[in-house]
Amino acid sequence: MANSGSGDSMTVRIVRVLETFSADRTVQTAAQIGRRAGLASSTAHRIVDDLVDAGLLERDDEHRVRLGLRLWELALRGSRALRLRQAALPHMELVQTRVREHTQLAVLEQEEALFLERLSHPEAGANITRVAGRLPLHASSSGLVLLAFASHELRERVLAAPLRRLAPETVTDAAALRRLLAEVRRSGYVVAAGSIEQVSTGVAVPIRDAGEVVAALSVVLPRGADPEVAIAALRSAARGIEAVLASGR
Ligand code: PHB
């Protein structure tokens, strides 16, 4: 790949352009992209034009661009995330019917919980998770499950770094978090009350594929709700999803 004057390859520059998009910043002009990606305006305009031609970005009437449907199509094709989501969806619907609250599927991605799917009930309470959104590992129920079963190295890295307080009850003390993670490994679930939002309780369980934890399944309950039905529904759904994954369907 040809290099720019700064030494970055074209691939690196394209990735920088794509990474300027976030959950909160979905529409931008080429000039804004250039500034945020640290690229010369002419370079940014050229890359954006090429990506629009390829369908990876889409341009609106005001000449602003967003990530294209073609990018979504390519990313999902044959991906692990899609396989997991398809195996999980019917079982998430069962949880949904029983618990009548939000139900989420998350995987570990670059030291955060990345949400692949979320089902909501019309009467469900608050929920800050978004599909393709992320939450910190130490402060969400899904994240706590993923962290509890992550590699020793990852767990130690998270425990050694400052643990940001997102709500009054976020566990920010490393020794307390270590004890909580051991308890999650022992019990096979977590009930995280007020960990990321004071008004909600997250409940999550692990999902295994070939013995390895590959995802977390969670529900978000109103704070103070009894978690027992949710725990039972999540456990039975996790077993169902694991059976689908094991069958290779
Ligand atoms: C959680 O998983 O702990 C969680 C997620 C989203 C919320 C509240 C709790 O809005």
pLDDT at 122: 82
Decide: 20 in ligand 1 pocket, CB within 6 A: no
Q: How far apart are CA 104 and CA 120, in angstroms?
A: 9
Q: What is the mean pLDDT of residues 89-104?
A: 95
Q: What is the mean pLDDT of residues 7-12?
A: 89
CA 74 – ligand 1 centroid, Å: 30
Q: What is the mean pLDDT of residues 136-162?
A: 97
CA 135 – ligand 1 centroid, Å: 9
CATH number at residue 16: 1.10.10.10
Domain boundary among the residues 75, 93, 127 is at 75
Domain boundary among the residues 75, 101, 117 is at 75
Same domain flag for 67 and 186: no
CATH number at residue 125: 3.30.450.40
Give yes or no for residue 1 having a pLDDT over 50: no
Q: How many domains does the chain have?
A: 2
Same domain flag for 71 and 90: no
Same domain flag for 189 and 98: yes
Supply 111's token pair: 């030291």
How many separate helices (H) and strands (E) can be counted in the chain? 9, 8
Decide: 170 in ligand 1 pocket, CB within 6 A: no
pLDDT at 125: 81
Q: Give the confidence band of 99 by pLDDT, cuts at 50, 70, 90.
A: very high
Residue 3 lies in a domain: no
Which H or E run contains 40?
A: none
pLDDT at 2: 47
227, 203 Cβ separation under 8 angstroms: yes
On average, the pLDDT of the chain sits at 94
Same domain flag for 168 and 152: yes
Same domain flag for 18 and 54: yes
Give yes or no for residue 6 having a pLDDT over 70: no
Residue nearest to atom 4 of ligand 1 (CA): 202
Same domain flag for 26 and 122: no
Residue 185 lies in a domain: yes
Q: What is the mean pLDDT of residues 104-132?
A: 92
Same domain flag for 66 and 28: yes
CA 168 – ligand 1 centroid, Å: 14
pLDDT at 9: 92
Q: Give the confidence band of 95 by pLDDT, cuts at 50, 70, 90.
A: very high
Cα dihedral across residues 187, 99, 90, 131: positive or negative: negative
Same domain flag for 35 and 106: no
Atom of ligand 1 nearest to the CA of 127: 10
Same domain flag for 84 and 189: yes
Q: What is the mean pLDDT of residues 212-239?
A: 97
Decide: 141 in ligand 1 pocket, CB within 6 A: yes
Give yes or no for residue 35 having a pLDDT over 50: yes
Same domain flag for 85 and 207: yes
Decide: 200 in ligand 1 pocket, CB within 6 A: yes
Decide: 142 in ligand 1 pocket, CB within 6 A: yes
- 80-112: b (≥16 Cβ within 10 Å) or e: ebebbbebbeebbeebbebbebbbbbbbbeebb
Same domain flag for 89 and 168: yes
Decide: 127 in ligand 1 pocket, CB within 6 A: yes
Q: How far apart are CA 66 and CA 69, in angstroms?
A: 9
Q: How far apart are CA 141 and CA 136, in angstroms?
A: 10
Same domain flag for 136 and 49: no
Q: What is the mean pLDDT of residues 9-30?
A: 95
pLDDT at 176: 98
**Segments forming the whole domain that contains residue 228:** 80-247
Q: Give the confidence band of 7 by pLDDT, cuts at 50, 70, 90.
A: confident
Selection from 36, 65, 32 nearest residue 51 by Cα: 65
Decide: 192 in ligand 1 pocket, CB within 6 A: yes
Residue 4 lies in a domain: no
Q: What angle do CA 97, 103, 105 make, to 5 degrees?
A: 135
Domain boundary among the residues 24, 48, 75 is at 75
- Bridge-based pairing of strands 57-59 and 190-193 is unpaired
